[in-house]
Structure 1
Amino acid sequence: MAASSRLPAAIRAPFAGRTWREFGYLVIGLPLSCVYFSLSIALVAAGAGLLVTFLGIPVLAGALALCRGFGAVERARARGLLGLDVAPPEPARGRTGGALSWMGATLKSGASWRHLLYALLHMPWAIFAFTVSVAFWMYGWAMFTYPLWQWVFPMYAGQDGIQLYGDRTHAFYLDSPFEIAVTSAVGLLFVLVGPWIIRALTSVDRLMVSGLLGPSRLANRVTELESDRGVVVDTAAADLRRIERDLHDGAQARLVALAMDLGLAKEKLAEDPKAAARMVDEAHGEVKTALQELRDLARGIHPAVLTDRGLDAALSAVASRCAVPVSVDVDLPSRPVPAIEGIAYFTVSELLQNVSKHAEARRAWVDVWRVGDRLLLQVRDDGRGGAETAAGRGLAGLTERLDAVDGILAVDSPAGGPTTITAELPWRA
């Protein structure tokens, strides 16, 4: 470990790269904000004044487009100096793709007006942040290094001490070691506190950049819903392929073989009744097997016990088929809507299958309860742990399916166990 990493954070802060990057951000922000403010005010005022003619709209749209360009510069500056990565807002696109359509989309875009608001609000804040940070930071370092001045600037030091200001007639001196030490101590205090003041000032800039120059909450929500819709469509398609494969390889194949056996039995019925009876008996066994496969497939689509008796009975049935003893505790005041109930059932079913296949556990526990407007499911086991939601794992697909309905999957599975997996779903009665 480096020696600098063993120093307290308060002592490392004045020399940390983050402090100097944030200080540079505040210093550069003042001239840039003056440019943003001046151009924005000038162009918006010109556009508003020209609205009585046909030139007002293109000038105003151009001003908003320029503010969007300012926003791109600010996002890049925040990313490089503050480590704040803000996604660009949704672009202003017209329906027809022409210039008039683009101008209309730009003027109607909330993101464009937020960029203009940033250009107007940032200048007064940049003036304040620049003044406070530069004055506090520079004066702190100047006072802290005051004892060095008599060597760096010997013309200001004499027998009366170090001259602070004034001429030969009216001057103020630090004429004792005590005064120099106090000044240096106060400067050290400023130096140690300065990084935290700079950090507090840049936190306001972070809020302004992320709040005004990024995508709107509505746009983020639309993006999330589009992604969730894609997951739902992919999951539904995968389920349909699974059902088709199970029918083709299972019940359908057995029914085809059954039809062939019954046809052969029919042909032998007259000439060899005993062989025909034997073949009919075998076909009867195949019918029972095919019916069981169809029941299992129907249970995989939506079990009847879930529809008829709810989660408690359905999860108890799943637990009885698990390879390890499972305790089930369902405490719900009422039943959620069938869609949420079905997701909860299949979530617990998949988690218990993982317990049976991978956990090497001796026992497992399933708890279901409601908190406010959320349905919580928890599956615990005393197995070897190591469950992950990484891509390519079964839990990753389960996480995506829960995300599609605003659900959450939390996994606590250290190596050596135990494993606790909690799923949270919206409650919709």
Structure 2
Amino acid sequence: MATEYGQGYGWDGGPGFRGEGAEERRHRLPAALRAPVEARSWREFGYLMLSLPVSIIMFTFAVTMVSLGAGLLITFLGIPVLAAGLAGCRGLGALERARARGLLGLDVAAPEPLRMTKQGAMAWVGAMLKSGASWRHLLYAVLHFPWAVFAFSVAITFWVYGWAMLTYPLWFWLFPVYGGQDGLQLYGDQGHSVYLDNPFEITVTALVGLLLTMATPWIVRALTQVDRLLVHGLLGPSRLATRVVELESDRGVVIDTAAADLRRIERDLHDGAQARLVALAMDLGLAKEKLTEDPEAAARMVGEAHGEVKTALQELRDLARGIHPAVLTDRGLDAALSSVASRCTVPVQVEVDLPARPAPAIEGIAYFTVSELLQNISKHSGATRASVDVWRIESRLMIQVVDNGVGGADVAAGSGLAGLAERLDAVDGILVVDSPAAGPTRITAELPWRG
């Protein structure tokens, strides 16, 4: 594992993580003051304005096609009409995902494709009617219409009234000049009328408009959160399909990892112990030939061969420990991690608090996770001390490795941490790295217990 520790791991190319100095320089105004003029607020407002006409089209199409298909079900024509309606809803759903991606920054994957065991029009109709994603698109077209009407009404009301009242000092003169009244009428009946026409009232109106203008982006943002939930929940892939894709990806990672481990073991055997044993066999053969002619030389060669045997045995022990250490099988994580910590170049404090032993596979992954992280600390961190804590929370095995080194570790940098994160993800694990520039580095791994 070759994770680099040090500078240059921030998203903006500088030390540390993005969001500290760069964000302060970029945004000197508080979020409440800059929200009304931010591009994000206007994009979200535009999304809600477009939602009304789009939802009218989708609702009209969905209701028309479903009603027509249901009415024609007494004949055979109702089935293909209903399938065509579902297909149209899927197409409109694709446009909605694109609209959400462009205006809300919400990237939702396309739903799972139709599963057709045969070719032909009837097979397509059957697959369309059986597809849960198609019916979710229809449900979105129906449910989104009333919500779009409500969100449009709220957004346009707050947005227009807020900006109109905020800018009232700039345009109130239109009333006496062109409207024949003193200002904006606040109240009026047959007896008297109240106009916003003096400086105090105009100022109060502008301040109320300022409050509305500042609050409107957050109201709009709350409204678009509902749209995000609808798009993500009804127009994306189902949880089952997503889980299947994740499991297929995890299976590929497991296969690749196992193949890489086998290649490593084969390489270590070929270049290490096997080469030594071949040389040892040759040395013993030469010693056998010299045994009668030169006993002293033969004895010296046998002594050298004995040293080679010890070296080969040590390499085989190290290789076996790298595959699965015997101390882990016999005594569990506490003893195994203490053994790994003793080989680290910096002092490591190990604390394991487990009520029982997890499944052997999880135990092995936990061992090798800590082993690789401690190797990183030895090679790259520049730390003077480290600690390893292992405990259980409900059905999860928690591991935390901390060092006081230079920091700057980042999974996204394409280092060995990314490979370790993939290994953990293959068993539904999580790797969280907190490593600001100048340290300390805190890496937390979470694994399923599976005892």
TM-score, scaled to structure 1: 0.90
Deviations 1:98-149 (A, max 9, x none): 3333222221211111100000011111122222222333344444545555
State the distance in 2 between where 1:205 and 1:164 align: 37
Of 209, 219, 224, the residue aligned with 2:231 is 209
Structure 1 letter corresponding to 2:394: G
Deviations 1:142-200 (A, max 9, x none): 44545555644656433x5247599xx99966285266565555544443433333222
What SS does the aligned partner of 1:161 have?
A: coil
More divergent stretch after superposition (205-214 vs 264-273): 264-273
1:264 matches 2:286: yes
State the distance in 2 between where 1:310 and 1:109 align: 48
Of 231, 239, 253, the residue aligned with 1:231 is 253
What SS does the aligned partner of 2:236 have?
A: coil
More divergent stretch after superposition (247-256 vs 23-32): 23-32
In the alignment, is the contact (CA less than 8 A) between 1:36 and 1:70 conserved in 2? yes
More divergent stretch after superposition (50-59 vs 236-245): 50-59
In the alignment, is the contact (CA less than 8 A) between 1:163 and 1:172 conserved in 2? no
- Count of matched residue positions in the alignment of Structure 1 and Structure 2: 427
In the alignment, is the contact (CA less than 8 A) between 2:184 and 2:195 conserved in 1? yes
| Cα pair distance change 1:123/1:255, threshold 3 Å | same
What SS does the aligned partner of 1:298 have?
A: helix
Gaps of 5+ in 2: 1-22
More divergent stretch after superposition (393-402 vs 354-363): 354-363
What SS does the aligned partner of 1:330 have?
A: strand
| Cα pair distance change 1:188/1:277, threshold 3 Å | closer
What SS does the aligned partner of 1:379 have?
A: strand
Query: Which structure has the larger Rg over C-alpha atoms?
Result: 1
1:13 matches 2:28: no
Of 273, 281, 291, the residue aligned with 1:251 is 273
In the alignment, is the contact (CA less than 8 A) between 1:361 and 1:382 conserved in 2? yes
Deviations 1:373-409 (A, max 9, x none): 1111222223333333234422221111111111122
Identity of aligned residues (%): 73
What SS does the aligned partner of 1:390 have?
A: helix
Gaps of 5+ in 1: none
Report how far residue 220 of structure 1 moved. Answer: 1.8
More divergent stretch after superposition (80-89 vs 248-257): 80-89
State the distance in 1 between where 2:324 and 2:206 align: 77
Structure 2 letter corresponding to 1:266: K
More divergent stretch after superposition (398-407 vs 417-426): 417-426
Counterpart for residue 284 of structure 1: 306
1:24 matches 2:46: yes
Report how far residue 356 of structure 1 moved. Answer: 1.8
Counterpart for residue 408 of structure 1: 430
State the distance in 2 between where 1:300 and 1:371 align: 28
In the alignment, is the contact (CA less than 8 A) between 1:174 and 1:180 conserved in 2? no
| Cα pair distance change 1:45/1:293, threshold 3 Å | same
In the alignment, is the contact (CA less than 8 A) between 1:150 and 1:156 conserved in 2? no
| Cα pair distance change 1:355/1:268, threshold 3 Å | same
Of 152, 157, 161, the residue aligned with 2:182 is 161
Counterpart for residue 362 of structure 2: 340
What SS does the aligned partner of 2:402 have?
A: strand
Structure 2 letter corresponding to 1:161: D
State the distance in 2 between where 1:378 and 1:184 align: 54
Structure 2 letter corresponding to 1:81: L
More divergent stretch after superposition (333-342 vs 391-400): 391-400
What SS does the aligned partner of 2:76 have?
A: coil
What SS does the aligned partner of 2:411 have?
A: coil
| Cα pair distance change 1:29/1:256, threshold 3 Å | same
State the distance in 1 between where 2:27 and 2:272 align: 64
State the distance in 2 between where 1:163 and 1:385 align: 62
Alignment of 1:115-154 (within 5 A): 115-146=137-168, 149=171, 151-152=173-174
Counterpart for residue 194 of structure 1: 216
More divergent stretch after superposition (256-265 vs 113-122): 256-265
1:308 matches 2:330: yes
1:39 matches 2:39: no
Structure 1 letter corresponding to 2:248: E
State the distance in 2 between where 1:201 and 1:89 align: 24
Structure 2 letter corresponding to 1:40: A
Counterpart for residue 73 of structure 1: 95
Structure 1 letter corresponding to 2:182: G
Structure 2 letter corresponding to 1:191: T
What SS does the aligned partner of 1:417 have?
A: coil
Counterpart for residue 109 of structure 1: 131
What SS does the aligned partner of 1:73 have?
A: helix
State the distance in 1 between where 2:135 and 2:282 align: 74
Counterpart for residue 15 of structure 2: none
1:174 matches 2:195: yes
More divergent stretch after superposition (250-259 vs 237-246): 250-259
In the alignment, is the contact (CA less than 8 A) between 2:173 and 2:183 conserved in 1? no
In the alignment, is the contact (CA less than 8 A) between 1:75 and 1:85 conserved in 2? yes
In the alignment, is the contact (CA less than 8 A) between 2:176 and 2:182 conserved in 1? no
State the distance in 2 between where 1:390 and 1:145 align: 47
More divergent stretch after superposition (110-119 vs 86-95): 86-95
In the alignment, is the contact (CA less than 8 A) between 2:276 and 2:312 conserved in 1? yes
What SS does the aligned partner of 1:378 have?
A: strand
